[in-house]
Amino acid sequence: MWDAAKFNCYDRVVSKQTGLPGVGRVAGVCNAVAYFNNISAANPKLSFRRWDELYSDWIDKYVYYVYYDKPRKTLSKEELSVHYDREWDEELEEVYNKLPEYHMAVYVEDDLELFG
């Protein structure tokens, strides 16, 4: 049985360890299993390794869609380095600079905390 969601729509939140710094608003919530199944079906090569390393039980909780007023990259340079399993270099810098920016990012429940 799923516990109640920790955050509600329109709550102002910040991430603790992933993504970029900044305050966003919760725009949606989804149980992590459904999110994982949908995303994995669309992109089987997508890695959830960083979430697995930081929050081993994330799949048993919720994920939150967080909206930011200004578009931003959805991951940090450190996360990209972890994803590619290599040290930061010029080539990774080039890859990072080409990443699109979005108003929305997805976070696991334990990576968020209320702001203010």
Listed by start position, the domains of the chain span 1-14+25-67, 71-104
User: Residue-wise pLDDT tens for the chain (116 aa)?
Assistant: 567 889 999 999 999 999 999 999 999 999 999 999 999 888 887 788 889 999 999 999 999 999 999 999 988 998 888 888 889 999 999 999 999 999 999 999 999 999 98
pLDDT for 85: 86
pTM given for the model: 0.89
What is the C-alpha separation between 81 and 88, in angstroms, rounded? 6
pLDDT for 2: 63
How many C-beta neighbours within 10 Å does residue 62 have? Answer: 23
Cα–chain center distance at 51: 8
What is the C-alpha separation between 86 and 108, in angstroms, rounded? 24
